Amino acid sequence: MAQLVFRLKNVPEQEADDIRELLSEHDIEFYETSAGRWQISMAGIWVRDKEQALIAKSLIAEDQSQRAGNAIPISPLDWLRGLISHARQNPLEFVFTLVAIVFVGALSVLPFML
């Protein structure tokens, strides 16, 4: 049975390409699934063979730990810029998320107000 070895949601294309190249270099056969038109499916890299999946996961974990070591910490201002950039690129998703947050917050506080 196929096993998910790497999720592609919110992954930069360069990082996804590096993972594909890493798996290809080690002769690990894989296939990809997309998130689909509505972005509700699992976008990821999958391996059919369990033994190869274990090898792939360890290779990816090593790669991710190297990336984490080289990562530059972001400041709150950088985070805010990223949020604004995301809101501009995906305005509908951003508005829906804000409405959902307000709705859940209102439902949480409403019993104490009454």
pLDDT of residue 30: 97
Q: Which CATH architecture has domain 3-70?
A: 2-Layer Sandwich (3.30)
Describe the crossing of helices 76-89 and 91-113 by its angle, rounded to 10 degrees. Answer: 110
Q: In whole angstroms, what is the distance from residue 32 CA to residue 22 CA?
A: 14
pLDDT of residue 45: 97
pLDDT of residue 15: 96
Q: Are 43 and 5 in contact (CB under 8 A)?
A: no
Per-domain residue ranges of the chain: 3-70, 76-113
* Strands 3-7 and 44-47, sheet pairing: antiparallel
Which residues sit opposite 31 in a β-bridge?
A: 46
What is the pTM for the complete model shown?
A: 0.66
Q: In the chain, which residues have pLDDT < 50?
A: none
Q: In whole angstroms, what is the distance from residue 17 CA to residue 2 CA?
A: 20
**Of how many residues is the chain composed?**
114
Cα 19 to its chain centre, rounded Å, is 14
